[in-house]
């Protein structure tokens, strides 16, 4: 059966029915503080595109682009912002995050999720200060590298932290707090850009420097965070893990859940090389789905090209500077609304339903965008107000689809799939692949827009079709399945069961789920 159906959400799971929990203040505080890590990622996504469209910034660092922009001020031009050094300003952060995630994997596993969050906050703070004080392109790039390192550590630790702290039945909603704060960061950044664009000539410095605010909040809050029970058990701190589990679950009846954590930790201790273990046949589903497929496809939707370059893209399409920043603020506000919808409904309808339904919509919107540009847009032609409004609406609808599917679920689902013994390595791969494709999109979008013109949106539409098929055939439903028992789902999947059964590599016997 396509997609791998299951006879129930938790059928055959060993101790899941014995788990108990209440929503405690301690649990809420821990998750809200940790989720602020998403605001670092979101603020940078939102602020960088706005800053690169500001005239004062371009005059200081990219004068050739400024002169080209002025030459085409009253007309549209697909190639107006095509400059590899300018796109390197955006993409360098994500290349740095890609490299730092390997160090983050070690810290996350050996020192805990909380320590990675703190390291990420410090690095991001230093990058924000350096960017705000930059006097040349070299200082800008060094600052971006520090920001990227902070994002590498934060994106490594925060989704894991939220998934491990959350009870199985509400794990989807809790994990998506990361996406919600990411979206709020984007929205705040766009609103700040709209205001600082009117402050001459240093408004762009304020936009970049204010990234230090969420970094400071994340660091101070991180000092007060507890470590996750999973990580404490992994570090051999069993008594401390039990105390934290009692506090976050609001009950002393935590023996069943603790037993599952200890069992998973014992298996994890036998793994000396988690990255090598991730490549074993029995871990093929987690590798293909969680570590490679989903994080890569999340970027190939084309959404991040819109987030990075919304102001630039709207100016390319003939919007004025103020109008383009205002339009990008509207799209980021739509993203926040979409994430809230996903938080409320994802644990009811499931991950697959959101992926597939939104995939159909996003495919249609990309095709509509491409057709509209092909018919109504060209070099030297100004868009009519009606067509311009239509484009903003189409982009907002696309954002609404992405924001309730690939945006939050691209982080949620991978964080659910890995067993404890490969979880830090797996999440490191998720962040690495995600940032690699984020950087490639950031580096290549403007040059692709210049050469492919409206055809770039047809390319994204084709990729959305492929990734929807990928989800339909290969991803099982993980809603409300305890995170330590997700591995049991692979045994009943039409495709993956041949990998996890009789893997031939000395894997331990696992109880098969009952249908």
Q: Which residues of 238-273 are buried (b: 16+ CB within 10 A; e: fewer)?
A: eeebbebbbbbbeeeebebbbebbeebbeebeebee
Structure confidence at residue 366 (pLDDT): 92
Q: How far is CA 275 from the centre of its chain?
A: 21
Sign of torsion, CA 315 319 325 328?
A: negative
CA neighbor of 43 nearest in space, from 166, 138, 141, 154: 154
Residue located via tokens 């989704």: 159
The first and second tokens of residue 55, run together, are 């005239």
CA neighbor of 4 nearest in space, from 346, 410, 481, 420: 481
Residue 336 contacts residue 396 (beta carbons within 8 Å): no
Residue 84 contacts residue 62 (beta carbons within 8 Å): no
Can you give the residue ranges of every domain in the chain? 22-225+271-498
Helices (H), 377-511: 385-403, 406-417, 420-452, 455-474, 497-500
Structure confidence at residue 10 (pLDDT): 36
Alpha carbon distances (Å) from 251 to 21, 34, 164, 264, 479: 6, 22, 17, 22, 23
Residues 499, 488: Cα–Cα separation, whole Å? 13
Sign of torsion, CA 64 66 68 70?
A: negative
3-state secondary structure 295-324: HHHHHHCCHHHHHHHHHHHHHHCCCCHHHH
Q: How far is CA 56 from the centre of its chain?
A: 30
CA neighbor of 228 nearest in space, from 258, 263, 207, 204: 258
Q: How many CA atoms lie within 13 A of 457 on its CB side?
A: 21
Residue 157 contacts residue 116 (beta carbons within 8 Å): yes
Residue 372 contacts residue 387 (beta carbons within 8 Å): yes
What is the chain's percent helix, strand, coil content, to nearest 5?
75, 0, 25
3: region left, alpha or beta (phi > 0 left; psi from -120 to 50 alpha)? left
CA neighbor of 396 nearest in space, from 437, 442, 335, 453: 335
CA neighbor of 457 nearest in space, from 386, 374, 354, 358: 374
Number of helices followed by number of strands (H, E) in the chain? 25, 0
User: CB under 8 Å to 320, separation ≥6 — which residues?
Assistant: none
From the number of C-beta atoms within 10 Å of its C-beta (0-12, 13-18, 19+), residue 385 rates as: exposed
Q: Which helix (H) or strand (E) holds 150?
A: helix 137-165
Residues 175, 166: Cα–Cα separation, whole Å? 8
Angle separating helix axes 238-249 and 255-269, nearest 10 degrees: 140
DSSP 378: -
Looking at CATH, the fold of the domain delimited by 22-225+271-498 is given as Growth Hormone; Chain: A; (1.20.1250)
For each of the chain's 515 residues, which pLDDT tens digit applies? 333 333 333 333 456 667 788 888 889 999 988 988 888 888 987 888 778 878 899 888 888 878 877 776 555 566 766 677 777 877 888 888 888 888 888 888 888 899 999 999 999 999 999 999 999 988 999 999 999 999 989 888 888 899 889 887 888 788 888 888 988 998 899 889 888 988 989 999 999 999 999 999 889 988 989 999 988 988 888 899 999 999 989 888 888 888 888 887 777 676 667 778 888 888 899 999 999 999 999 989 988 777 766 666 676 666 666 666 677 778 888 989 998 998 888 888 889 999 999 999 999 999 998 898 888 766 556 667 777 778 888 888 999 999 999 988 988 898 888 887 777 788 778 888 988 898 888 788 778 877 888 898 899 999 999 999 999 999 999 888 887 778 888 988 889 988 887 554 444 343 443 33
Residues 507, 339: Cα–Cα separation, whole Å? 39
Span between the terminal Cα atoms of the chain, in Å: 14
DSSP 8: S
Alpha carbon distances (Å) from 511 to 13, 278, 410, 490, 504: 9, 20, 29, 11, 17
Residues 15, 259: Cα–Cα separation, whole Å? 9
Q: Please state, as a whole number, how many other Cβ atoms lie within 10 Å of the Cβ of residue 88.
A: 18
Residue 332 three-state SS: helix
350: region left, alpha or beta (phi > 0 left; psi from -120 to 50 alpha)? left
């Amino acid at each position: 059966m396509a997609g791998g159906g299951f006879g129930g959400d938790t059928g055959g799971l060993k101790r899941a029915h014995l788990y108990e929990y209440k929503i405690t203040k301690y649990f809420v505080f821990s998750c809200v503080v940790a989720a602020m890590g998403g605001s670092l990622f979101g603020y940078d996504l939102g602020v960088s595109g706005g800053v690169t469209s500001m005239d004062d910034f371009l005059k200081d660092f990219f004068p050739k682009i400024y002169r080209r922009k002025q030459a085409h001020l009253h007309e549209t031009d697909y190639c107006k912002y095509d400059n590899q050094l300018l796109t390197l300003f955006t993409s360098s952060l994500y290349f740095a995050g890609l490299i730092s995630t390997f160090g983050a994997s070690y810290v996350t596993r050996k020192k805990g999720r909380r320590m990675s969050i703190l390291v990420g906050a410090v690095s991001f703070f230093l990058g924000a200060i350096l960017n705000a004080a930059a006097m040349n392109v070299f200082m800008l790039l060094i600052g971006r590298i520090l920001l990227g390192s902070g994002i590498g550590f934060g994106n490594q630790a925060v989704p894991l932290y939220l998934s491990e702290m959350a009870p199985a039945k509400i794990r989807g909603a809790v994990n998506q707090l990361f996406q919600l704060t990411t979206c709020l960061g984007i929205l705040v950044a766009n609103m700040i850009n709209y205001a600082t664009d009117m402050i001459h000539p240093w408004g762009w410095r304020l936009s970049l420097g204010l990234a230090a605010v969420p970094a400071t909040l994340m660091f101070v809050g991180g000092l007060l965070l507890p470590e996750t029970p999973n990580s404490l058990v992994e570090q051999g701190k069993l008594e401390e893990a039990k105390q934290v589990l009692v506090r976050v679950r609001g009950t002393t009846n935590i023996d069943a859940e603790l037993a599952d954590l200890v069992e998973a930790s014992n298996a994890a201790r036998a793994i000396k090389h988690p990255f090598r273990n991730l490549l074993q046949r029995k871990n093929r589903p987690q590798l293909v789905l969680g570590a490679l497929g989903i994080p890569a496809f999340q970027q190939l939707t084309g959404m991040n090209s819109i987030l990075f370059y919304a102001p630039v893209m709207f100016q390319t399409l003939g919007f004025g500077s103020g109008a383009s920043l205002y339009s990008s603020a509207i799209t980021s506000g739509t993203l926040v609304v979409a994430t809230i919808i996903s938080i409320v409904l994802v644990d009811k309808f499931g991950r697959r339903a959101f992926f597939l339904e939104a995939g159909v919509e996003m495919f249609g919107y990309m095709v509509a965008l491409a057709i509209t540009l092909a018919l109504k847009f060209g070099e030297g032609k100004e868009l009519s107000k009606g067509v311009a409004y239509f484009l903003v609406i189409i982009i907002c609808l696309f954002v609404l689809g992405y924001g309730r599917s690939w945006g939050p679920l691209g982080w949620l689902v991978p964080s659910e799939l890995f067993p404890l013994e490969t979880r830090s390595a797996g999440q490191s791969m998720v962040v690495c692949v995600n940032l690699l494709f984020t950087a490639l999109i950031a580096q290549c979008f403007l040059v692709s827009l210049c050469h492919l013109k409206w055809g770039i949106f047809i390319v994204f539409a084709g990729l959305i079709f492929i990734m929807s098929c990928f989800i339909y055939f290969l991803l099982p439903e993980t809603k409300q399945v305890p995170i330590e028992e997700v591995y049991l789902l692979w045994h009943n999947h039409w495709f993956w069961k041949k990998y996890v059964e009789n893997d031939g590599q000395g894997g331990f016997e696992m109880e098969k789920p009952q249908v």
